Amino acid sequence: MKAAVYYETGRPDVLRYEDVPDPACPAAGVLIDVEAISIEGGDTLNRLGGPMTSTPHIVGYQCAGTITEVGERVTNRSVGQRVVATVTSGSHAEIVAAPAATTWPIADGADIVAAACVPVAFGTADDCLFEFGHLQPGETVLVQAGASGVGIAAIQLAKRAGATVIATASSDDRLARLHELGMDHGVNYSERGWVDAVRQLTNGKGVDLAVDSVGGRVLAGSVRSLRHRGRAITVGSAGRDPQPLDVSMLAAGNQSLTGVWLGAEISTERAQQMISRLVDEVARGDLRVLVDRTFPLAEAAAAHAYIESREAVGRVVLIP
Selecting from 3.30.1340.30, 3.90.180.10, 1.10.3210.10, 3.40.47.10, what CATH number does the domain 2-117+289-319 have?
Answer: 3.90.180.10
Diameter of the chain measured on Cα atoms: 60
The contacts of residue 320 (CB under 8 Å, 6+ apart) are: 2, 34, 35, 37, 93, 94, 296, 297
C-alpha angle 288-166-119 in degrees, rounded to nearest 5: 35
Q: Which residues pair with 104 in a beta bridge?
A: 84
DSSP label of 169:
E
For residue 93, the 8-state DSSP code is B
- Other residues' Cβ atoms within 10 Å of the Cβ of residue 95: 22
Helix (H) / strand (E) containing 2: strand 2-6
Segment 143-163, tens digit of pLDDT: 999 999 999 999 999 999 999
The answer to whether the beta carbons of residues 142 and 221 sit under 8 Å apart is: no
Q: How far is CA 235 from CA 71, 133, 169, 259, 302, in A?
A: 33, 11, 16, 6, 26
pTM attached to this predicted model: 0.95
**Helix (H, G, I), strand (E, B), or coil: what is residue 82?**
strand
Q: So where are the chain's domains?
A: 2-117+289-319, 122-263
Residue 246 is predicted with a pLDDT of 87
Q: Which residues of the chain have pLDDT under 50?
A: none
Say how many CA atoms lie within 13 Å of 74 toward its Cβ. Answer: 21
Equal fold, 2-117+289-319 vs 122-263: no
Q: Which helix (H) or strand (E) holds 274?
A: helix 269-284
For residues 47 and 304, is the Cβ–Cβ distance under 8 A? yes
Q: Please, are residues 207 and 142 in contact by the beta-carbon 8 Å criterion?
A: yes
Q: What is the pLDDT of residues 155-195, one digit of tens each?
A: 999 999 999 999 999 999 999 999 999 999 999 999 999 99
Which pLDDT score, from 0 to 100, does residue 240 have? 64
| pLDDT at site 237 | 77
The closest alpha carbon to 151, from 292, 255, 263, 266, belongs to 292
- Cα(8)–Cα(47) distance, integer angstroms: 8
CA count, 13 A, side-chain hemisphere, 291 = 20
68, 33 Cβ separation under 8 angstroms: yes
Are the C-beta atoms of residues 151 and 117 closer than 8 Å to each other? Answer: no
Q: Which residues contact 29 (CB under 8 A, 6 or more apart)?
A: 71, 74, 97, 98, 99, 100
CATH for the 122-263 domain, from 3.40.50.2300, 3.30.70.580, 3.40.50.720, 3.30.1360.200: 3.40.50.720
Please compute, for residue 52, the number of CA atoms within 13 A of its CA located in the half-sphere on the CB side: 14
